[in-house]
Chains A and B, each alone.
Chain A
Amino acid sequence: MNIRRLNALIIKEIHQITRDPSTLLLAFFFPLLLLFIFGYGVNLDNNHLKVGFINESNDPLSLNLSYAFARADSFTLTLANTRPPLEEDLENGKIRGMIDIPERLGIITLTGIFSPSIQVITDGSEPNTAGFIDRYTNGIVQTWMSQEALFLKEFIPVIIKPRYWYNQGLFSRHFLIPGSIAIIMTLIGTLLTALVIAREWERSTMESMMATPATTTELLLGKTIPYFVLGMGSVFICTFIAIYGYNIPFRGSFGALTLVSAIYLLTALGQGLLISTVAKNQFVASQMALTSAYLPAFMLSGFIFDISAMPQPIQLLTYAVPARYFVTCLQTLFLTGDIWSLLLKNIAAIALIGLLFFIAIVRRTSHRLDE
């Protein structure tokens, strides 16, 4: 291996990067855009759900319940006296649910003979929101019952005290942004690399490269080293913005972050290289990178959709997605700290997958043109 040749190849690649605006756009502008989207756009904290509300009762007990709903942070109430206008709003998607408190709620409850029913109707076409409305309404009703019972000296046995570790305020942003760094790494590591090398094949400049004294190893290294540097640079910029721009706590160490990111980036680069040797044209390379790297990183890594919620076969599939391990490491490093038992396990998994990629590449890379 000739360092001088390698250097020349790296400098050539750097020139190509700086002269192509789209590469710089992807490496620097796009991560910022993604951080922005996951910081503001994707928000799983339901705070402004529009919900309809009817109270057909008049007594103090039910009025207290109305106040409880009015004070609820997550709901913006649309009040009405009858159901039809609310039902229409529900159909049109203007409200996500409606709550109907029946007549004489308080009186019936106090007599204790029947249990009156509060009806909660939700828009099932958005199941997550509907589920949230169900749970939240249930919580409000339970709290109201406890308070009324205390007032009436009734006995309510159990008070539940929840505490959320690592993310007291339950900001979904706190786990979304660390996870999005994984997505950004996947884009730079896999998509960009796959495109760049497939491009050389497509334009036949790979032929010219093969006519040079440079060995295959030098060629591949010359292509990946600049993108490795670009990727690590991106990690640091994104982490910096996450901590100072979005106030995400960072409870781990930068050393651990660098280690984990470097190993993941190498694996992602390996995947990109493998895709480009298989695809040899940019359209196919981009589709493969998208399907095998980006979309799994987005959907199957646990970054936004919880893995334990997926059906068994798909959970098994996620073990083959390197991004899954990276997302866990990132969320832990940011929100918990350096939990080495967790980190080392995940790093080993990423490294194993990376090794498999590199073995496949060594086998597939030909120094011949007639393949």
Chain B
Amino acid sequence: MITLFLQRIYGLILKEIMTLLRDPKGRFVLIVPPLLQLFIFAFAATLDIKEARIAIYNQDNGIEGQEVVAYIQGSPVFTQSLPVYNQSQIAPLIETQTVLAALIIPDDFSKNIDAHQSADIQIILDGRRSNAAQIIEGYLSTTIQQYMQAYRASKGFNALSVNVINRHWYNDNLNYLWFSVPSLVCILSMLIALIITALSVARERELGTFEQLLVSPLLPYEILIGKTIPAILIGLIEGCFMWAAAIFLFQIPFYGSTLLMLITLLTFIISIIGIGLFISAISHTQQQAILGTFMFMVPAVTLSGYASPIENMPIWLQKLSWFNPLTHCLITVRGLFLKNITATHVFSHLWPLWIITLITLPLATWYFNRRMQ
């Protein structure tokens, strides 16, 4: 009995894998896009700003104004500083996004500084790119402070100064790749596992080969097992492949335990399979399965903490993100890469994944059985 059972399932698994891999375009699509995506999006998805163009309107004729300009031009962040000679030139530059910010030094700047009175510097920033603009404001502020320190030191002023020492744990240089690549490992394997599972049943139904499966000796639950195992295998292989690429190609440090990482990937993929099967069960056509996958994936990725921190979301949305398997996977995988988190910690994030699986898999199976009657 057992051997027959195993034989049947093995046969189905083989068939599934062959269907996937036989079409050359299908093979291509399983390998090339994920790799491409990993490369391009790892580098593209950064919220950091390393360079910006600014305009400088120096109305001051004195030395101090020029000193400030010199400091700013000397900073590696401001790759291009366009000099402006007229107030009316500023608006078009910012409107057309030629520059991100404009610095205006008033005409009494040097006079005020030499008279030991405070002077203003105005900065105009493009609020359409508010995240970038805030970062640039920070850089400008720091550069001007450097000028201030130098000035006060040179005039012998009592330095009422306090240093701020910044230390970044786990990622000394705040390298964005160390954040985005581990995240992409999760996201891209989720994408593949989801699409393969969701399409597995829907495609057969649409092409009419599902009926042929039903008249075979396979029992409904055997069909389900036979369909999920290839998806789990492929998802896991993709995940490991990305993980290896992260360590060897991107040089992301991996301080955690390999075993824990494998367990995490496996648990994550299985929870995703549950969702994929559910989508597959409720879809009649491939289009519905693909769109359904999509409509799950887009919110899942955007609300997982990848694009913006979870604590910025409203509280009720934060609670909802607990049900998103990707949220937990991201925290765990990043922790395994950079923080060497303990097993206890890993499992504290894995048990929600088990709960999600325990809800979605039986639901999908039940729905599936109903459909087949």
Q: Measuring CB to CB, which residues of chain A are less than 8 angstroms from any residue of chain B? A: 20-23, 25-26, 30, 33-34, 37-38, 40-50, 90-93, 96, 105, 109-110, 112, 115-132, 134-135, 137-139, 141-142, 145, 148-149, 152, 154-168, 170-172, 174-175, 187, 191, 195-196, 199, 202-203, 279, 281-284, 286-288, 290-291, 295, 299-300, 304-306, 308-311, 314, 317, 328, 331-332, 335-336, 339, 341-342
- Interface flag for B11 (CB, 8 Å): no
Nearest residue in B to A199 (C-beta to C-beta)? B287
Nearest residue in B to A45 (C-beta to C-beta)? B312
The residue that A308 contacts in the complex, of B52, B169, B286, with Cβ under 8 A, is: B52
Nearest residue in A to B291 (C-beta to C-beta)? A22
- Interface flag for B86 (CB, 8 Å): no
Chain B residues within an 8 Å CB radius of A203: 206
Closest 8 CB pairs of A and B: A167-B127, A124-B171, A124-B168, A135-B138, A164-B127, A43-B312, A22-B288, A291-B33
- Interface flag for B48 (CB, 8 Å): yes
Given contacts A125-B338, A126-B309, A157-B119, A165 and B124 within 8 Å (CB-CB): yes
In the bound assembly, the distance between CA atoms of A335 and B94 in angstroms comes to: 12
Q: Contact at A165–B127, with CB atoms within 8 Å?
A: yes
The residue that A139 contacts in the complex, of B68, B121, B141, B298, with Cβ under 8 A, is: B141
In the bound assembly, the distance between CA atoms of A46 and B309 in angstroms comes to: 8
Q: Contact at A141–B121, with CB atoms within 8 Å?
A: no
Identify 5 new A-B residue pairs, CB closer than 8 A, beyond the known A20-B287, A96-B311, A328-B97: A120-B166, A124-B338, A128-B309, A160-B121, A282-B287
In the bound assembly, the distance between CA atoms of A124 and B40 in angstroms comes to: 22
Query: Can you list 19 A-B pairs with a CB-CB distance of less than 8 A?
Result: A22-B283, A30-B295, A44-B130, A112-B159, A127-B178, A131-B174, A135-B138, A139-B141, A141-B164, A164-B125, A164-B126, A167-B130, A170-B127, A172-B308, A195-B290, A283-B199, A290-B191, A299-B44, A339-B95
Chain A residues within an 8 Å CB radius of B127: 164-168, 170, 174, 335
Nearest residue in B to A149 (C-beta to C-beta)? B160
Number of contacts between A and B (CB, 8 Å)? 341
- Interface flag for B241 (CB, 8 Å): no
Q: How far is the CB of A305 from chain B (nearest CB, A)?
A: 5
Chain B residues within an 8 Å CB radius of A47: 312
The residue that A145 contacts in the complex, of B45, B47, B142, B161, with Cβ under 8 A, is: B161
Q: Contact at B138–A138, with CB atoms within 8 Å?
A: yes
Q: How large is the interface on B (under 10, 10 to 19, 20 to 34, 35 or more residues)?
A: 35 or more
Chain A residues within an 8 Å CB radius of B140: 160
Q: Contact at B48–A199, with CB atoms within 8 Å?
A: no
Q: Contact at B159–A115, with CB atoms within 8 Å?
A: yes
Q: Contact at A124–B44, with CB atoms within 8 Å?
A: no
Chain B residues within an 8 Å CB radius of A138: 138, 141-142, 164
Given contacts A154-B157, A170-B134, A42 and B308 within 8 Å (CB-CB): yes
Nearest residue in B to A167 (C-beta to C-beta)? B127
Q: Contact at B159–A22, with CB atoms within 8 Å?
A: no
Chain A residues within an 8 Å CB radius of B142: 138
- Interface flag for B205 (CB, 8 Å): no
The residue that A125 contacts in the complex, of B171, B191, B195, with Cβ under 8 A, is: B171
In the bound assembly, the distance between CA atoms of A310 and B50 in angstroms comes to: 9
1/0 per residue, CB under 8 A from A, across B316-349: the answer is: 0100000000000001001100110100010000
Q: How far is the CB of A176 from chain B (nearest CB, A)?
A: 9
Q: Contact at A46–B312, with CB atoms within 8 Å?
A: yes
Q: Contact at A37–B43, with CB atoms within 8 Å?
A: no
Most chain A C-beta atoms within 10 Å of own C-beta, residue among B144, B309, B334? B309
Chain A residues within an 8 Å CB radius of B203: 282-283
In the bound assembly, the distance between CA atoms of A50 and B317 in angstroms comes to: 17
Nearest residue in A to B48 (C-beta to C-beta)? A309
Q: How far is the CB of B182 from chain A (nearest CB, A)?
A: 9
Q: Contact at B160–A42, with CB atoms within 8 Å?
A: no
The residue that A306 contacts in the complex, of B94, B132, B157, with Cβ under 8 A, is: B132
In the bound assembly, the distance between CA atoms of A44 and B312 in angstroms comes to: 7
Q: Contact at A152–B160, with CB atoms within 8 Å?
A: yes
1/0 per residue, CB under 8 A from A, across B40-72: the answer is: 110111111111100000000000000010000
Nearest residue in A to B314 (C-beta to C-beta)? A40
Chain A residues within an 8 Å CB radius of B116: 155
Q: Contact at B312–A287, with CB atoms within 8 Å?
A: no
Q: Contact at B165–A119, with CB atoms within 8 Å?
A: yes
Nearest residue in A to B139 (C-beta to C-beta)? A135
Q: How far is the CB of B281 from chain A (nearest CB, A)?
A: 14
The residue that B47 contacts in the complex, of A49, A93, A160, A306, with Cβ under 8 A, is: A306
Chain B residues within an 8 Å CB radius of A299: 40-41, 44-45
Chain A residues within an 8 Å CB radius of B345: 92
Q: How far is the CB of B155 from chain A (nearest CB, A)?
A: 8
Q: Contact at A109–B311, with CB atoms within 8 Å?
A: no
Chain A residues within an 8 Å CB radius of B174: 124, 127, 130-131
Given contacts A124-B338, A191-B294, A282-B287, A134 and B166 within 8 Å (CB-CB): yes
Nearest residue in A to B124 (C-beta to C-beta)? A163
Nearest residue in B to A203 (C-beta to C-beta)? B206
Nearest residue in B to A331 (C-beta to C-beta)? B128
Chain A residues within an 8 Å CB radius of B45: 299, 305
Chain A residues within an 8 Å CB radius of B195: 283, 286-287
A-facing residues in B265-307 (Cβ within 8 Å)? 283, 285-288, 290-292, 294-295, 298-299, 302-303, 307
The residue that B334 contacts in the complex, of A117, A125, A309, A342, with Cβ under 8 A, is: A125
A-facing residues in B178-212 (Cβ within 8 Å)? 178-179, 191, 195, 199, 203, 206-207
In the bound assembly, the distance between CA atoms of A319 and B325 in angstroms comes to: 34
- Interface flag for B36 (CB, 8 Å): yes
Q: How far is the CB of A212 from chain B (nearest CB, A)?
A: 23
A-facing residues in B1-36 (Cβ within 8 Å)? 23, 25-26, 29, 33, 36
